[in-house]
Amino acid sequence: MIERMTVVLPEPMAAQLRAAVEAGEYASTSDAMRDAVRLWSERHRLRDLETERLQQAWDAGKASGRHGTLDFEELRREARSRLTAQDNESGRAG
């Protein structure tokens, strides 16, 4: 089923729409508007998926039980220590 709607656009947008049709990008302004609505719908769907992904990450973080302030110097020391251990293991294997 198709429903007819009237859409009011500011002149610069209307000019862009007409230019796209004249350039052959779309068969009609209706085709261009349908494409715009599809893109808008897809953007909303992706935003909903991203929100869900962030909620899952938040929940997983809370469930991990780790919280509090971070000591970035300690994190750097631990990372350097792991890298040094990996380098040492790589040197022994070769």
- Domain range for 26 is 1-63
> For 27-38, what is each residue's pLDDT tens digit?
999 999 999 999
21 assigned to some structural domain: yes
In a domain, 71, yes or no: no
Answer whether residue 9 is part of any domain. yes
Phi-psi region of 65 (alpha: psi -120 to 50; beta: other; left: phi over 0): left
Tokens coding 73? 């110097």
Q: What pLDDT shows up at residue 93?
A: 54
Residue 29 lies in a domain: yes
The pTM for the full model equals 0.58
C-alpha count within 13 angstroms, C-beta hemisphere, residue 48: 6
Our count of domains for the chain comes to 1
Considering only the C-alpha atoms of the chain, give the largest distance between any 2 of them, rounded to a whole number of Å: 74
